[in-house]
Structure 1
Amino acid sequence: MAGTTFALVPQLAGTRPLIRLPASGEVTVGRSAGAQIQLNAAFISRRHARLIAEAGRAYVVPLCRDDKLVTVNGVPAARGARVELRAGDAVSFVKEEADFAYRVERRAPPAANEGQTASGTKRPRAASDGDVEADYECCICSGVIAACHCLPCGHAACGECLVRWLATKRECPECRAAVPPLAVLAPVHIVDNAIEARIGAVRAAEREDWEARRSRWRRTRPDGPLRAPPSPAERGPRPRAPPPRASTAAPPRARRRRNAIPPVADIRALLAGRRRAAAVTDLTEPEIISIDD
C-alpha cells in the first residue's frame, strides 16, 4: 500500500512503546546503547535483531545466538535468516514473553517532527556511545570482553566465558571451528588495554558488569595463557577403585544375649550341682541346738 509504513504494536497495551519502521532502511533492536530500538532486559542481546524495510516490504533478521528467542507467528527464526513480515503477523523478540510480543500493522507515516525517544523506541546513535560495546562484544555473553583470550581460529572472548564454553563444547562459539585439545588460548593484552582506556564511555550498568567480571577473573585465575581442556581420549579411562581387601581376622564370637534362656541340659546340670552342694553342707555343718537352762 503506497504511502504507508510498517509498525510493530505491543500486544500488551502500555508495556512497550510503538515501534515504527522507516519507509526504507533498517533499525537495530537490542540492549546496546547503540541500538536504535532499545529493549532493556537481561535476556535481550546487545544486538538482538534487525528490522528492515525495503520496496514496500518488511523483514526481521535475528542476530542473537539463541535460534529460539525471536519468533514469527510462533515459529523460531534462525540467526541471520531474513524472515518477511506481513500485516497481522505476531513477532516476539523473546519466546513466550508477552512483554516483548508485537503485532505487525501498516500505518500512515509519522509527521516529520514526530520522533521516538523513549526506551524501546528509535533513537539516533551518537558518535561516542555504543562503540566499545559494539567493537568489543564477547561472542558468548554479549558483554564487553573482560580478560580477553584468543582461540586458535582468531576469534576472541572473555577468558571466563571460554573456560565455561570449552568445558562442554570443543568448537569456536563464533565460527564453529574445532578447538584442538590442550590448545593454547593466549591473552590479548592490547584489547584489554584498549577497553580499559575507553570503558568510561559505556553505560554505568555495563561498566559495573565488566568491572565485576574482570575482578572475578583476576582473583581466581593466574595471569598468562590458558589451555583448552583435554579430550576424553587424552584424559584416558577413569581409574577404577581398588577391590575391597578380604579380611583375615577371625569373625567375632557370637555373644549370648543377657536375657536369653539357656538350653535344658544346662538347667539340669545347674540344678544337680545345687543339690550336691546342699548335701555336702548338711554333712559338714550340723545344726547346733542350744538348750536353755
Structure 2
Amino acid sequence: MNSKPCCRARRHGNRRINHQHFKKVLIMETDKIVQLLSKFKGGEVDLDQTLETLKRLPFEDMGFAKVDHHRALRTGYPEVVFCQGKTHEQVEKIYQALEKHNGNLLMTRAEPELFARLQKVDDRLVYNELGRTITLEKEAREKTGSVLVISAGTADIPVAEEAAVTASISGAKVERLYDCGVAGIHRLLAQNEKIQQARCIVAVAGMEGALPSVVGGLAACPVIAVPTSVGYGSHMNGLAPLFTMLNSCAPNITVVNIDNGFGAGFCATMINSTR
C-alpha cells in the first residue's frame, strides 16, 4: 500500500486535515468579503446593498428554506440539496442561491423530470440516472486518495452510485467494484489488491448484508457499510442487512442508514482526506 500522502496535511487535535483544501475554501470565502467591501469603498454598491449581502453570508432565509452559505467555510464542503419531498420550484430556487456562493455542488434523490427543468436553468449540470444525483463541477479539482465503492449485487448499484458520485464531487479519487457479493465470493477475492490499497471502503449490500463483514476482514482501512432495501420477504425493506452490519464482528466497520449512499460517500471523503 502506498503510504505517501497525496496532498499536504496537518494535525488538528488527533486528526490530520487536508490543509490545501481547507486553505483554499478559506481564501475563497475571504475573497468574497474583500471584493464586496472593495465595491462598497469604490462606490459600486451602496451601504444598504452591502449590509444586505453581509446578512446573507451565513445563511439566506427563503421562507421555505434557510440556505447555508457558510457550510463550506465550517466543514470544507458546501451544503448538499436533498431533492426528495421538495417541489421542483423549491429545488430550483435553492440551487440558484447556492450556485452564486459556491463552487462544486451536489443534489441527491433527483428524478429525471427535475433534472430536465434545472438543465434549462444551467446547462452545466450533469445527471447520474442510476444514482439519481445532479452535480455542478465549476472547479476542476484533482482527485486524491482512494475511496473504493463495492456493491454486493447489481440491484445495489443505485445506492452505490450515490456514494461514488458524492465522494468524487467532494474531491476523492473513486474506484467502483460492482456485483461482488458473497454468493460468488471469488469475484471479491480477485480484487484483494484494490481492497488493500484503499484509504476507505464503502460496502453496499441488500439481502442478508454479509458483504461488509467479509470486506472488513480483508481491508486495512475503515469500511462504511450501507444496507439497502433490496431483498425478499423477511429482509424487511433493509432491516435484515442493517442488523447484520450492526452486529458485525469486524472492528473496522461503521454503518449508515438504509439506502444512505450519500452519507456513506460523504463520510468516506472525510476519512480519505484525513488519513
> Which interval holds the TM-score relative to the shorter structure?
under 0.3
Please, what TM-score do these two structures have when normalized by structure 1? 0.23
Q: Larger helix proportion, structure 1 or 2? A: 2
Give the number of the structure whose alpha-carbon radius of gyration is greater: 1
